[in-house]
Structure 1
Amino acid sequence: MYSGGMHAMQYEITLPADYDMAIIRRRVDTLGPLLDDFPGLGLKAYCVRDRADGSPVNQYSPFYLWQTVAGMNSFLWGEGFRRLCDSFGRPVVQQWTALAYLRGPRFGVVPTRASKVVTSVSPDEVPDAVAGLKVEDGVHSVALAIDTRGWELVRFTLYEDNPDAEYAVRHLSAPGVEALPLGRHW
């Protein structure tokens, strides 16, 4: 039985429709590698949505899987997040308790796309959702997490390439991805 505490986190910075998304791409290219060895971080997918690519919005939406609360807190109160807040204002940070994590057949390949699906569930539906968690061809990994405040289930999937996935992944920092606990987390 799993006894650790993996946490998922994401903030979404929606930018103006005419925002030059090259600024975000340069920011990720320059600053992204700074988290490639961040203590307590399982992975950070630097997700971007761009109107030029058919998205309804311009958005920077990094998604994190944390191995430790200490690592997550160190990031949120550290220089990198402060720099982001100085540039864009302090975003609302969504946090979820991880229910499951699985590696897909493309785990060894750097993902280029990601999707996030949020559904409302009753507490008795969660075990069924985890039991039905599967990874398809082209999947790097998938995480299932829950916000028990509103009983929202989040399924975040990283793909080697999937043109239908809403996010482009500009960089993947994955210092602790090999140590993320596999399977269901209860």
Structure 2
Amino acid sequence: MVGMQYKIIVPKTYDMNSIRDRVLKNGSKTDFFPGLLFKFYLITEKDKYKNIYNSYAPLYLWDKTEGMNQFIFNGFYDNILKSFGWQKINIGIPLNVKTDANLLKSKFAIECTGCIQETQKLNSAVFNLPQNNLSEKSIGEFLIYNPDKWAYSQFYFYEDIPDEVYVMENIKIYEILHISSKE
């Protein structure tokens, strides 16, 4: 299993409705894509839900790398290159994936990021995740780490944004425009 995300930061004056229209017209093209477990079409909008910038940041969870390679090298990712230019694709390894039967009803994703600190025993590695009930209220969550950077992202998925996230620091609140899945 592999996690993949590219985060395209667009200017604060960028019309985010163009992203919404893009996903509305093209989001279903990745439904049932070979090797894809989930693709979450994520956006942030400046000054909405605590966000400080506009972005388009699709998040993928691949069951098989062959599907990811097909997506990147067989013309599908070229649409991103044509529209937004050369983008860095962040790759990570899922350490923990929990999904609820309602995951496809998610409207929002919360991302908490951090670094895995140097340790003598990785089985005691510490992930500084929020110490609240974000997990019990979520309908899905993914912990994805990158050992090249010793960084991680914890994603929580919701139908509605929990009130407590508005007082939390160092999080991103994404709106989910579409979810593609193998189902």
Assess same fold via TM > 0.5.
yes
**Relative to structure 2, which stretch is displaced further, 63-72 or 153-162?**
153-162
- How well do the aligned residues superpose, as a CA RMSD in angstroms? 2.3
Q: Do structure 1's residue 135 and structure 2's residue 131 form an aligned pair?
A: no
The structural deviation recorded for 1:125 is 5.5
CA deviation map 1:4-55 (0-9, x unaligned): xx11110000001100111000001111000011000000110000126252
Q: What TM-score do the two structures reach when normalised by structure 2?
A: 0.82
Structure 1 portions without partners, runs of 5+: 1-5, 177-186
Matching residue's letter, 1:79: G
- Whether the aligned pair in 1 keeps the contact of 2:103 and 2:140 (CA below 8 Å) is no
8 Å CA contact retained: 2:5, 2:91: yes
Q: Which residue of 2 aligns with 1:8?
A: 3
Partner of 1:183: none
**What is the deviation of 1:84?**
1.3
Q: Which residue, 18, 22, 32 being the options, matches 1:23? A: 18
Q: Deviations over 1:66-117 (max 9, x none)?
A: 000001111111322101110100210000011111124x635510000111
Corresponding residue to 2:62 among 62, 66, 78? 66
Alignment partner of 1:51 is 2:50: no
Please, which runs of 5 or more residues in structure 2 have no aligned partner? 166-171
Aligned partner of residue 161 in structure 1, secondary structure: coil
What is the number of equivalent residue pairs in this alignment?
168
| Corresponding position of 2:94 | 98
Aligned residues: percent identity? 28
Q: What is the 5 A alignment of 1:170-181?
A: 170-175=177-182
